[in-house]
Amino acid sequence: MPCTQPCKAAPATNCRASLQNCNLAATAPITSPFYSPSPMLRPEDCFVPIPRKIALLCLLLASATGAQASQVLSLPQALTAAFAQNPELAAAGREIGIADGERRQAGLLPNPELAWEVEDTRRDTSTTTVTLSQPLELGGKRGARLAVAGAGQAIAQLDLERQRNALRADVVQAFHAALRAQTALELAQQSQALTERGLRVVQGRVTAGQSSPVEATRAQVQLAQAQAEVRRAKTQRSVAYQALARLTGSPLASFDRLQAANLSPGIAPGADTLLDQVEKTAEWRLAAAQVERGDASLGAEKAQRIPNLTVSLGSQYSREDRERVNVVGLSMPLPLFDRNQGNVLAAARRADQARDLRNAVALRLRSETRSAISQWETAMQDVEAYDRTILPAAQQAVDTATRGFEMGKFAFLDVLDAQRTLIEARGLYLEALASATDARAQVERIYGDLDGVSNKPNSRSNND
């Protein structure tokens, strides 16, 4: 807490304390066992002669530094930034504009053709013909093109929705991974403080002649290992922060801490509840839209078997006869050899392939859903066991072993063994949380946000 006494202007020769000492006296953790209190400073000892402009500048710099140091990122903020700035999602959004352009082009009519022809280039006997030709599409070619383009628009929309779901799952997964790395660093620092406490106890007993110096060496080794674990945890947190920043579209992590949130992903929904909604997922609807486009493409290729009709209207003028006559013509290719047989066959096979892929997608989604729900439920059972039993028991064992060692009832090896058990239990607890979070992210990658899905387990889950 800052010094509550107002600073007064005083001569430099009367200053009896610096701001650093004043702040130290005001902010030192008095209740900490590691704090050794210094002589109490009186309020008048905090008076320092600082010019007003310099003081104002210091306050501004301190405010800016505090603002930078307090940049905290929450999960909603990360999702908002990812949806707005992720370049891969932006590229997927461009597909909608591409499909709109293709849809517009598909609805256009063929351009007319203007022709000019001269017979007998001699000036007095030449004949000039001007014709305007308009192709007429037969067999529903324009409607077939529009159907293909419309299916392309639906595919672009569904693919964007699928990628949004995937990005959301990636951001949630990366956020929780970074949050676990942040928690792991805090746990590593707590373990380091625990080993430092043990080292002080051992050194006190060695000084008193109650323990062997070998135990002090063991405690120092344990402390070195804890310090190395803290360094590794810091590196892993930095890597996790950077991975999260990349998903949000930022080259560097502009935050230094994640907002504390519940690490648990919650109770898994019933598998049957989700499986009933497989055909509502973006990925399945995308596969179904691919089938529709395949059928539309087949119809477009069949329409190409019917040749177009070209109508011509024109005027012919003869200089020799000095007469102008009208010219009317019809033309149509004869489909004797090329009736678009190969393209029709290829389009039919592509339509069949799209149906097979749709069935494969449905099978994969159902299999992935069951696997993810099973992983989620198993991991949450482990998390609950660690929360209720394992971690409290491991912490109690450390406290009991430490107090017993201080009183000479236990050996230091018992303390080390209890500390290792607690550290290992904390690591396994984070692994169980990671497994549950990854399973939920996999489910949300398929179904989107699970807030709209009932979290009531089915009867089979209750029996389990």
Give residue-wise pLDDT tens across range 190-217.
888 888 888 888 888 788 887 778 888 8
Instruction: Give yes or no: residues 258 and 110 share one domain.
Output: yes
The angle that helices 213-247 and 412-447 make with each other, rounded to 10 degrees, is: 10
Instruction: Give yes or no: residues 406 and 274 share one domain.
Output: yes
Is residue 274, in this structure, part of any structural domain at all?
A: yes
Span between the terminal Cα atoms of the chain, in Å: 53
How far is the C-alpha of 84 from the C-alpha of 81, rounded, in Å? 5
Residues 6 or more apart in contact with residue 350 via CB below 8 angstroms: 294, 297, 298
Q: Tell me: pLDDT of 368 over 80.
A: yes
Is residue 451, in this structure, part of any structural domain at all?
A: yes
Instruction: Give yes or no: residues 213 and 236 share one domain.
Output: yes
Q: Where residue 284 sits, what CATH number does that domain have?
A: 1.20.1600.10
Instruction: Give yes or no: residues 120 and 28 share one domain.
Output: no
State pTM to two decimals.
Answer: 0.73
Instruction: Give yes or no: residues 135 and 180 share one domain.
Output: yes
Could you report the per-residue pLDDT of 305-357, keeping only the tens digit for each?
Answer: 999 999 999 999 988 888 899 999 999 999 999 999 999 999 999 999 999 99
- DSSP class of residue 18 equals -
How far is the C-alpha of 23 from the C-alpha of 2, rounded, in Å? 6
- Domain boundary among the residues 46, 66, 86 is at 66
Instruction: Give yes or no: residues 300 and 157 share one domain.
Output: yes
What is the sign, positive or negative, of the torsion defined by CA atoms of 274, 276, 280, 282? positive
Among residues 438, 428, 434, 433, which one has the least CA distance to residue 373?
Answer: 438
3-state SS, 279-330, equals: HHCHHHHHHHHHHHHHHHHHHHHHHCCCCCEEEEEEEEEECCCCEEEEEEEE
Q: What is the reported pLDDT for 27? A: 34
Instruction: Give yes or no: residues 61 and 163 share one domain.
Output: no
Instruction: Give yes or no: residues 44 and 104 share one domain.
Output: no
Specify the residue for token string 């380091």: 192
Instruction: Give yes or no: residues 232 and 257 share one domain.
Output: yes
Residue 434: which H helix or E strand, with range? helix 412-447
Instruction: Give yes or no: residues 55 and 187 share one domain.
Output: no
Among residues 97, 92, 248, which one has the least CA distance to residue 158?
Answer: 92
Q: What is the reported pLDDT for 326? A: 92
Q: What is the reported pLDDT for 70? A: 57
Instruction: Give yes or no: residues 35 and 138 share one domain.
Output: no
Is residue 396, in this structure, part of any structural domain at all?
A: yes
CA 180 to chain centre: 16
Is residue 217, in this structure, part of any structural domain at all?
A: yes
120 three-class SS: coil
Is residue 337, in this structure, part of any structural domain at all?
A: no
Number of domains in the chain: 2
Q: What is the reported pLDDT for 51? A: 54
How far is the C-alpha of 113 from the C-alpha of 135, rounded, in Å? 8
Q: Tell me: pLDDT of 68 over 60.
A: no
Specify the residue for token string 């504009």: 97
Domain that holds residue 47: 12-66
The answer to whether the beta carbons of residues 166 and 86 sit under 8 Å apart is no
Instruction: Give yes or no: residues 42 and 158 share one domain.
Output: no
Q: What is the reported pLDDT for 52? A: 52
What is the sign, positive or negative, of the torsion defined by CA atoms of 444, 450, 452, 458? positive
Is residue 166, in this structure, part of any structural domain at all?
A: yes
Residue 40: band (very low, low, confident or very high) from pLDDT cuts 50, 70, 90: very low
Is residue 4, in this structure, part of any structural domain at all?
A: no
What is the sign, positive or negative, of the torsion defined by CA atoms of 433, 434, 439, 445? positive
Is residue 218, in this structure, part of any structural domain at all?
A: yes
